[in-house]
């Protein structure tokens, strides 16, 4: 039974980080090969990305903000540089009870196509989104964050997909501006994550958006509970439930700012974990199609419980250490944890060494999910959000 526990946990960990990506690569490559063959033989568009409409549709851009005075000047300048007709772009900021100069900056910017909803008290990001959508003037919505800088053509790239009436949500690609430490940690992990999202989009099983850049039909939006922490998962899930498609466009890009340390990323991941476990019942009730359910299991659910699988592997191999095989496997695991601890202790010196901080980062985010699971059980988190510097 102990050996069975070890190999079950081992297979679940291996499936999450190795087998599932390999399956995705094989399936998405086969789809791309078929599209290339159709293009060669019948001149069909192998990429199947619609052209940008000659008459850009009217769009409401929604931006919640809490204490964003550091980032707002760049955001406002970025909005002025958007390659989108000003008279077709309605911009709604929600100042969510900010205590710094965010409200004053937005009051100065208000006018023209920029509107601001000022809230006297913090209600959380989900509440801000609900209020902004209720005041939206147009049928297409684009959601962003106050620190996220869109590529000039990002909105055009997103909305071109809505010529297909089956598309309900279109997710953009987020890139991070990072320092030396986050380039070797979050930067490496995000490149891996972006590859998975691209391959999943080819199979039509895109699971969630990046909350910093995605578009949707207003008719698909259902007000979300104000205690929601992962609206970029819950909103696309609701759209799928209503029979619409969720897609991903790697050409619609934006830049955000990664936490400067793994400690900052740990804080962010704890909140994501708490919100993910909180939304689990709604996800199960969504009755996803088999392929999407398999993607959710492999890409999301198993990661959420990975700390328990890692602990099961360690405990089982320690209990079976009398066997040379399990003793060797135990030593390998201990070396991995020691390597991660060394990354934490000597991260300042190791920043310039490629990939050496990845074990430290992986252990930190899995520990964050364990902490998030405990917070979910005791109900200690709120819907208020703050940017991790």
Please, what is the Cα angle at 57 between 135 and 239, to 5 degrees? Answer: 60
Q: Give the pLDDT means over successive 10-residue stretches in the chain (389 positions).
A: 95 95 93 82 65 83 94 95 94 95 95 94 93 96 95 95 94 79 67 89 88 94 89 89 90 83 78 88 81 92 94 95 94 91 73 70 89 86 54
Query: How do 59-65 and 167-177 pair as beta strands?
Result: unpaired
- For residue 351, is it within any domain? no
Give the pair of three-digit tokens for residue 73: 């000047």
What was the pLDDT predicted at 82? 94
Main-chain phi, psi angles of 210, to 5 degrees? -90, 125
What was the pLDDT predicted at 386? 56
What gap in Å lies between CA 72 and CA 170, rounded to an integer? 25
Please give the C-alpha separations between residue 34 and each of 44, 202, 250, 330, in angstroms, as whole numbers: 11, 12, 20, 44
Sign of CA dihedral 60, 61, 64, 69: negative
What CATH number does the domain containing 144 carry?
3.90.550.10
Q: Residues 209, 34: contact at Cβ < 8 Å? A: no
- For residue 64, is it within any domain? yes
DSSP single-letter state for residue 87: G
What was the pLDDT predicted at 350? 62
Please give the C-alpha separations between residue 186 and each of 220, 251, 252, 318, in angstroms, as whole numbers: 32, 21, 21, 31
The whole domain housing 73 covers 59-260
What was the pLDDT predicted at 42? 75
Main-chain phi, psi angles of 141, to 5 degrees? -115, 140
- For residue 140, is it within any domain? yes
What gap in Å lies between CA 387 and CA 268, rounded to an integer? 8
- For residue 120, is it within any domain? yes
Overall domain count for the chain: 1
Residue where the block lists tokens 């320092």: 179
- For residue 187, is it within any domain? yes
What was the pLDDT predicted at 288? 83
- For residue 162, is it within any domain? yes
Residues counted in the chain: 389
Q: Indicate the pTM of the whole model.
A: 0.84
- For residue 101, is it within any domain? yes
What was the pLDDT predicted at 58? 95
Q: Which residues contact 192 (CB under 8 A, 6 or more apart)?
A: 21
Query: Which string of b and e fits 353-370 if b means at least 16 CB within 10 Å?
Result: eeebbbbbbbbbbbbbbb
- For residue 337, is it within any domain? no
Q: Residues 361, 185: contact at Cβ < 8 Å? A: yes
């Amino acid at each position: 039974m102990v050996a069975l526990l070890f190999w079950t946990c081992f297979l679940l960990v291996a499936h999450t980080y190795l087998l599932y990506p390999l399956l995705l690569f094989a399936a998405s490559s086969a789809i791309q090969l078929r599209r290339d063959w159709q293009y060669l033989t019948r001149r069909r568009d192998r990429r199947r990305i619609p052209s940008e409409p000659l008459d850009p549709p009217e769009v409401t851009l929604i931006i919640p903000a809490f204490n964003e005075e550091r980032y707002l000047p760049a955001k406002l300048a970025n909005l002025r540089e958007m390659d989108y007709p000003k008279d077709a772009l309605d911009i709604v900021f929600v100042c969510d009870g900010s205590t710094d100069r965010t409200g004053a900056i937005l009051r100065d910017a208000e006018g023209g196509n920029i509107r601001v909803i000022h809230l006297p008290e913090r209600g959380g990001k989900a509440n801000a989104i609900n209020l902004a959508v209720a005041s939206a003037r147009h049928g297409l919505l684009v959601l962003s964050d106050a620190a996220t800088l869109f590529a000039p053509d990002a909105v055009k790239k997103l909305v071109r997909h809505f010529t297909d009436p089956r598309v309900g949500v279109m997710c953009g690609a987020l890139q991070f501006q990072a320092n030396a430490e986050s380039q070797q940690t979050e930067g490496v992990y995000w490149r891996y994550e972006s590859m998975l999202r691209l391959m999943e989009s080819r199979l039509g099983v895109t699971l969630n958006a990046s909350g910093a850049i995605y578009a949707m039909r207003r008719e698909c939006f259902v007000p979300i509970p104000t205690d929601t922490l992962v609206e970029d998962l819950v909103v696309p899930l609701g759209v799928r439930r209503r029979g619409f498609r969720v897609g991903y466009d790697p050409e619609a890009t934006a830049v955000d700012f990664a936490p400067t340390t793994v400690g900052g990323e740990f804080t962010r991941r704890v909140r994501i974990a708490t919100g993910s476990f909180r939304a689990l019942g709604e996800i199960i009730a969504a009755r996803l199609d088999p392929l999407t359910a398999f993607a959710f299991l492999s890409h999301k659910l198993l990661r959420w419980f990975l700390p328990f699988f890692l602990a099961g592997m360690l405990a089982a191999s320690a209990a079976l250490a009398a066997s040379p095989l399990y003793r060797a496997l135990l030593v390998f695991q201990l070396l991995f944890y020691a390597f991660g601890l060394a990354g934490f202790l000597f991260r300042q010196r190791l920043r310039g060494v490629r990939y050496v901080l990845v074990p430290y980062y992986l252990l930190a985010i899995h520990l964050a999910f364990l902490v998030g699971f405990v917070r979910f059980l005791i109900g200690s988190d709120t819907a208020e959000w703050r940017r991790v510097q």
